[in-house]
Structure 1
Amino acid sequence: MLDRLHPALVHHVVNTLGWPSLRPLQEAAIEPVLDGKDAILLAPTAGGKTEAACFPLLSAMEQRRWHGVSVLYVCPLRALLNNLEGRLASYAAWLGRTAAVWHGDVPTSERKRIQLDEPDFLLTTPESLEAMLVSTKVDARRMFAGLRAVVVDEVHAFAGDDRGWHLLAVLERLSRLAGRPLQRIGLSATVGNPTELLAWLQGSGRERERAVVAPQAGAATAAELTVDHVGTVDNAAKVIAALHGGEKRLVFVDSRRRAEELGAALRAREVTTFLSHSSLSAQERRRSEQAFAEARDCVIVATSTLELGIDVGDLDRVIQLDAPRTVASFLQRLGRTGRRSGTSRNCLFLCLEQDAVLAAAGLLERWAAGWVEPIVAPPRPRHIAAQQILALALQENTIGRNTWREWWGDLPLFDAEADAIMNHLLAEGYLELDGSMAFIGPEAERKFGRRYFSDLLAVFSAPPEFTVFAGRDELGKVGDEVLLADEHGGPRVLLLAGRAWQVGHIDWKRRRCFVEPSDLPGRAKWGSTGGGLSFELARGQRTVLLGTDPAGVSFTRRAAAVLDELRAHHTGNIAAEATVVRSEGGDLRWWTWAGTAANRSLQASLPGLVDPRQRIDDRSLRLLPELTSKTINAGLRTLTPHAPEVNDQAITGLKFAAALPVELARDTVAARLADYEHARQAATEPRRFRLDRAD
């Protein structure tokens, strides 16, 4: 296949990069990408996916004489774009081509230069694309007139949330401006449903030829996986400080608060420690990531910000505090190691709670069985449909009352309720009519018009936060309601960038906070965004409790003792191939092990069986007292799925919900809280009754 690539590119691959050959994915991608097929390219982290997409696109660029911005390279994170820019620019330069980055941190002067001297590759985010389309300072029709292909890096990260729907809608509008279908190439680590993911990525062009490219790269080296129970963050820091001296260690945590706490505990033990999470300033994150990349004996503590393909140098170890929420996330993190010849992939789980040991074991059981989550786009994205209609009105100044749909073809973003959404936007003043043409109305100006509709261009809203400065250096952001506005005696000391800072002056109007270093203990807290456990991972935990240890995983004596204790504790709550209904201590509980969304759906659908006053978890449901096995079985046979109850606060968490009829906003949220498929499965499975009374 190498003979299909441009000869100059092949020359540089061999002589400049020193590669004797391409990797299996890179070779396998040449034909479908050069033939113009839509494709998903699958490989583990550091599997050469960027080159697999861009080498054939560069060749097509030369062979077919594409000019101007002909390839978009879209990433979910600005840091990932910055990390890729130099690499892509050097590849493009081999053929006399150029690459440039465009996102919110790029100075205005650089954006003007890009418009005057258009690059061949433009690296950007969906939000920046949207901003370019609606900007009065960018001639989008001219800029994207030569657009031919779009590479979507980390496509699974987009497809799993509303940013994916937003991206697809923006790509449809770009295709219309360019006057041609756009070749779409998604790059991803292993996913459970690549064919469906590719069909989703194609948007309204699902009739186009497509290919899933996922060659076997030979037998994977065994991974070194260990689970330990340490009890506290301080103990975790003690273990990390004691192990693997002289090595580079990347520690993943589940929250910004935990990152700050662990970072401070490691520094207290004189471990060279860096931090990376979303509330640190871009400058602070870059400083940490660069210093970590250049150091040897050190630790970087990160949230999922470093899960994606940002290069922080050659790692020796990955350590996970507790367990990630998905097998796919674990695979991304595991793939950070074992890149050097003679090294193996590895991950050490340090669990703080007993249940975290079970969570890690359940996740590893699913991984050992070869299961990975399918990527499923969020259902009923009607709030994004409303946002897109308003964004199009900004882009075009006016849109046809009866022709606006043509911009998106049959993209499933717009369902049978699309006309109701349009009518609501008109009725509430988000849009106004002039004959058959609609334009931005006063309500849209009032809700979203600040800073030229910047609130309309981002799918997610960040909660109100203060920017923290130490002198002139920006450290990051903290929530005002927890760290600054609460009343208590003594100085306010916050924890940020792994250090304690005493709060000095607070500029409430400009939302700025000025701090100085402190030796006092600091506090770190941000709002939680964790969701419930899936059906498969809950069942993985049940499998472990039934006695299965995940293959290829070592448990320390502490972790093994915890598992033994949990197995003894849950003996009455589990059964092979069946759910359990058990009465104990006055409670009647149904142990479904079905995951949070399925249990939530069962609660909504079984009002005659399930107690409505309970907090839903992933393992069990409290049933109404005095039920018998006969009434329970009869009730489950007549299961009729009902949507979970949605309160007003949940609706306000859906950005652009105000631009929807309230019943449609409520329906969207309810659909996302439910899992009817696995609720039905749990309801129809055999049951074991363990009651302390006779029926």
Structure 2
Amino acid sequence: MSFNLLSEPIRKFIRDKGWEQFRPIQTAAISKILESSNNFILISRTASGKTEAAFLPILSKVNFREEGIQVLYISPLIALINDQFNRIEDLSKNLDVTITKWHGEANKTQKEKLIKQPNGIVLITPESLEAMFINKPFNVKLLFSNLKYVVIDEIHSFIGTDRGIQLQSILSRLEKENNNLFSVVGLSATMSEENSFREVKEFTGNVDKTKILIDRTPKNINVLFRFFKNEKEELSLELLKDLYKTTKDNKVLIFPNSRGRAEEVAVKLKKISEKVKGHLNYFSHHSSVDKEVREYVEYFAKNNRQNFCIACTSTLELGIDIGTVDDVIQIDATNSIASLIQRVGRSGRKEGKTSNLYLYATNEWSLLQSVACWLLYKDGFIEPPHKNVKPYDIFIHQALSITKGHSGIKLTNLINQLKDNSAFKYIEILEIEEILYHLIKIDFLEKLQDEVIIGVEGEKVVNSRDFYSVFKTEENFKVINAGNTIGEIPFSPQIVEDENILLSAKIWKIKFVDNKTKKIEVIPTKDGKKPMFFGISATIHQKVREKMMEVLYNQSNYDFLDESSLDEIETLQKDFSVFKIQDLRTNRMLLIADKDLRFFTFTGTRINRTIQLLLNVSNVKNILEESSSSFDIELSKDEFILKWNALSSLISNIDAHIYNLLSTHSSLLGFSKWGKYLPNKYQVEILKNNYFDIENTKEFITKINIVYNK
């Protein structure tokens, strides 16, 4: 029995809590972690006890009387660290274990105490760990040389991302400082066997030593789609009234797809509630809202018995504990099935409770995409993580970090360290040397005989606080009212005096914009002037688009759709019935109008971008409409088909086409913080791997047969 395998202090904790039995993932993890030194990835739905599954056996197994930090917990969010700190502290209450938070907002005295006497458990973000390697290189060995376990929470949020490559590199560097091999335990609610297991095993640095423990217990979900057609930027009054009726008597999270929409929802629902004398607990929660305000919202939700409604973005997608949530609302299609799974998991968190999910769509394509995502979710599909075999841009960041941390290093040692790093194992030695010599050329590194140090230009970026992170941070202006910080908003030319903005569930009028200090003075307003919106772009997986097309030609009875949603889907199906599709995999539709064509690709965003590049090279005037995955073309049918059939021949020279595009559109590299410092040919490689999709585009163009309506 798993209970008997645990140490007595942990058994006492369980008895005191009155737990009658373990969850499936806990039962599996306790015995496996206790009996071996393997790496483990624990996969089970949200609120299934993964944190306890990891820490109950780790706390039983590790001897915390040994010197040095014994357990390192790594989280993608500071808020999640603060939340998990209390949880881990509770689990450890019968043990003499020091638990320390280490991030930019953590207590300095506790950090200093840890450096003087390293021990216990440390909770940290990748960026703070990076900063430790750079600023306290001599302490890293002292702190982590006896490390036994690294627990990575929400590990799926790292896999396939630049931040994940950074963390993988840091773990590899951490191994070199360790006397023995530490074990990695990853926690995730959103991974599928089909497409993620190999990647997550590689992430730990040791595929053979990494085992997957997965609980496939399904989650009961009540789902209902609602459709309110809307041609305007703002949500319709009908949708908002329906949304208010649905949510007014419950504890609710509402997920729009942008910060601006979250603010609109919070403000307008509160207005409706004020009019009908309902509760006034309407909040917004996203990265632009001030940290203290976000923390208050989280505290209110967790500790107040009153009903509430929080309009939020991905900031509440991950596992921050906000207590019981009755319903989750999604406004317009999620950008991924993984995101949908995380959001659904926020409700019905108590054992045996059903989750309630309402999906509101405001246009036909969003509705179709929502249906496709839901069907794929029921099929068990989750988008595979993006595979970045040669992350040249993150390589630059880590090369600078290692050089800075050593205060100069022999060039041969730097090359060897980078080559031995599991994050860069596919980057060839000649490529490593070429990039490092380029950094010397642009004065990011300076060569002194056989050593390199940070160069003059390199110092400018390495000494910036922003250096520790590999993701780009937008230029934000602080929003202030009467000396109090409300939050931050991204800068845009539309931010001028007398305009209104939405922030922290209120409407504010801009009184003064200080471009030098990046501050915006505002006052509350109710003048009726429409506030500005801030949107986002998304990358949609090709499987989602293919499922959208399948829905158009599938006469299944979707019992989760309300009458309006069903009518809209049937209208779309009727519109597309003019195309006689024989094979959903190889047929695509060409709509012939009077003067123009519309070509529906129903494929992923990155393939569409590549097709557009090739069309532009072919001098075909086109406009990509991403929501419908279609191109508006200014050609005759015959001319277009001729051009289409010739596209695949252009792919052989794709590097030159991308290079030419990059020379006139340098902003294409805007997604990569460090890509602009690479030699040109490696910038092209980054675009090929992260922005375009060359191989799948070639396959797509080759197999597609065009079906037209006339």
Aligned to 1:268: 271
| Aligned pairs, number | 679
Kindly provide the CA deviation profile for residues 495-516 of structure 1, in whole angstroms up to 9, marking residues without a partner as x. Answer: 2101122334554433223333
Q: 1:340 to 1:187 in 2, by over 3 A?
A: closer
Q: 1:237 to 1:691 in 2, by over 3 A?
A: closer
| Contact 2:71/2:148 (8 A) holds in 1 | yes
Aligned to 1:564: 570
Q: 1:472 to 1:403 in 2, by over 3 A?
A: same
Within-5 A mapping of 1:222-371: 222-229=221-228, 231=230, 232-270=235-273, 271-293=280-302, 294-340=304-350, 343-371=353-381
Choose from 499, 505, 509 the match for 2:516.
509
Aligned to 2:276: none
Structure 1 window deviating more from structure 2 (417-426 vs 364-373): it is 364-373
Q: 1:288 offset after TM fit, Å?
A: 1.4
Aligned to 1:44: 45
Q: 1:690 to 1:513 in 2, by over 3 A?
A: closer
Kindly provide the CA deviation profile for residues 166-218 of structure 1, in whole angstroms up to 9, marking residues without a partner as x. Answer: 11111111111224333122111132334213223123x34x5121100333x
Q: 1:555 to 1:574 in 2, by over 3 A?
A: farther
Q: 1:136 offset after TM fit, Å?
A: 4.6
Aligned to 2:112: 112
Partner Cα distance (2:362, 2:116) in 1 = 55
Q: 1:107 offset after TM fit, Å?
A: 3.8
* Aligned partner of residue 325 in structure 2, secondary structure: coil
Partner Cα distance (1:516, 1:629) in 2 = 55
| Contact 1:506/1:513 (8 A) holds in 2 | yes
Kindly provide the CA deviation profile for residues 592-648 of structure 1, in whole angstroms up to 9, marking residues without a partner as x. Answer: 211221222334456787825433636334565353798478547767463554421
Partner Cα distance (2:69, 2:551) in 1 = 52
Identity rate, percent? 25
Q: 1:50 offset after TM fit, Å?
A: 0.9
Choose from 404, 418, 422 the match for 2:414.
404
Structure 1 window deviating more from structure 2 (432-441 vs 374-383): it is 374-383
Q: 1:691 offset after TM fit, Å?
A: 6.0
For 1:353, the aligned partner's letter is N
| Contact 1:68/1:120 (8 A) holds in 2 | yes
For 1:535, the aligned partner's letter is Q
Q: 1:628 to 1:517 in 2, by over 3 A?
A: closer
* Aligned partner of residue 364 in structure 1, secondary structure: helix
For 2:45, the aligned partner's letter is P
Q: 1:521 to 1:157 in 2, by over 3 A?
A: farther
For 1:8, the aligned partner's letter is P
For 1:545, the aligned partner's letter is L
Aligned to 2:210: 210
Aligned to 1:475: 486
Kindly provide the CA deviation profile for residues 275-320 of structure 1, in whole angstroms up to 9, marking residues without a partner as x. Answer: 1000111101011121222243221110011010011110110011
| Contact 2:540/2:605 (8 A) holds in 1 | yes
| Contact 2:479/2:522 (8 A) holds in 1 | yes
| Contact 2:72/2:124 (8 A) holds in 1 | yes
Q: 1:40 offset after TM fit, Å?
A: 1.1
| Contact 2:606/2:693 (8 A) holds in 1 | yes
Aligned to 1:595: 604
1:662 equivalent to 2:680? Answer: yes
Aligned to 1:121: 121
| Contact 2:13/2:94 (8 A) holds in 1 | yes
Partner Cα distance (2:187, 2:490) in 1 = 35
Partner Cα distance (2:45, 2:297) in 1 = 25
For 1:176, the aligned partner's letter is K
Structure 2 runs not aligned, ≥5 long? 274-279
Kindly provide the CA deviation profile for residues 141-185 of structure 1, in whole angstroms up to 9, marking residues without a partner as x. Answer: 211222222111111111132000011111111111224333122
TM-score by length of structure 2 reads 0.89
Partner Cα distance (2:152, 2:393) in 1 = 23
| Contact 2:254/2:330 (8 A) holds in 1 | yes
Partner Cα distance (1:113, 1:570) in 2 = 68
Within-5 A mapping of 1:109-258: 109-136=109-136, 139-192=139-192, 193-203=195-205, 205-206=206-207, 208-217=208-217, 220-229=219-228, 231=230, 232-258=235-261
* Aligned partner of residue 159 in structure 1, secondary structure: coil
Partner Cα distance (1:30, 1:401) in 2 = 45
For 1:7, the aligned partner's letter is E
* Aligned partner of residue 313 in structure 1, secondary structure: coil
Q: 1:554 offset after TM fit, Å?
A: 1.6
Partner Cα distance (1:136, 1:634) in 2 = 58
Choose from 530, 536, 540 the match for 1:533.
540
Partner Cα distance (1:401, 1:136) in 2 = 21
Within-5 A mapping of 1:386-465: 386-408=396-418, 409-413=420-424, 415-416=427-428, 417-446=431-460, 448-449=461-462, 452-465=463-476
* Aligned partner of residue 412 in structure 2, secondary structure: coil
For 2:492, the aligned partner's letter is E
Q: 1:70 offset after TM fit, Å?
A: 1.4
Q: 1:606 to 1:501 in 2, by over 3 A?
A: closer
Partner Cα distance (2:75, 2:555) in 1 = 39
For 1:542, the aligned partner's letter is M
For 1:537, the aligned partner's letter is V
Structure 1 runs not aligned, ≥5 long? none
Q: 1:474 offset after TM fit, Å?
A: 1.8
Structure 1 window deviating more from structure 2 (585-594 vs 623-632): it is 623-632
* Aligned partner of residue 424 in structure 2, secondary structure: coil
Partner Cα distance (2:391, 2:621) in 1 = 28
| Contact 1:483/1:524 (8 A) holds in 2 | no
For 2:316, the aligned partner's letter is L
| Contact 2:160/2:388 (8 A) holds in 1 | yes
Aligned to 2:385: 375
For 2:59, the aligned partner's letter is L
| Contact 2:100/2:111 (8 A) holds in 1 | no
* Aligned partner of residue 94 in structure 1, secondary structure: coil
Partner Cα distance (2:578, 2:694) in 1 = 26
Q: 1:244 offset after TM fit, Å?
A: 4.3
Choose from 606, 611, 616 the match for 2:620.
611
Q: 1:261 to 1:146 in 2, by over 3 A?
A: same
Structure 1 window deviating more from structure 2 (251-260 vs 460-469): it is 460-469
Aligned to 2:87: 87
| Contact 1:606/1:635 (8 A) holds in 2 | no
Partner Cα distance (2:610, 2:514) in 1 = 46
Partner Cα distance (1:171, 1:610) in 2 = 48
Partner Cα distance (2:340, 2:671) in 1 = 28
Aligned to 1:56: 57
For 2:503, the aligned partner's letter is L
* Aligned partner of residue 464 in structure 2, secondary structure: helix
Structure 1 window deviating more from structure 2 (90-99 vs 428-437): it is 90-99
| Contact 2:410/2:452 (8 A) holds in 1 | yes
Q: 1:654 offset after TM fit, Å?
A: 1.8
Partner Cα distance (2:533, 2:555) in 1 = 37
Q: 1:585 to 1:183 in 2, by over 3 A?
A: farther
| Contact 1:247/1:317 (8 A) holds in 2 | yes
Partner Cα distance (1:524, 1:183) in 2 = 51
Q: 1:619 to 1:166 in 2, by over 3 A?
A: same
Choose from 670, 681, 690 the match for 1:672.
690
| Contact 2:476/2:488 (8 A) holds in 1 | yes
| Contact 1:580/1:688 (8 A) holds in 2 | yes
* Aligned partner of residue 481 in structure 1, secondary structure: coil
* Aligned partner of residue 118 in structure 1, secondary structure: coil
1:519 equivalent to 2:526? Answer: yes
Partner Cα distance (2:487, 2:27) in 1 = 43
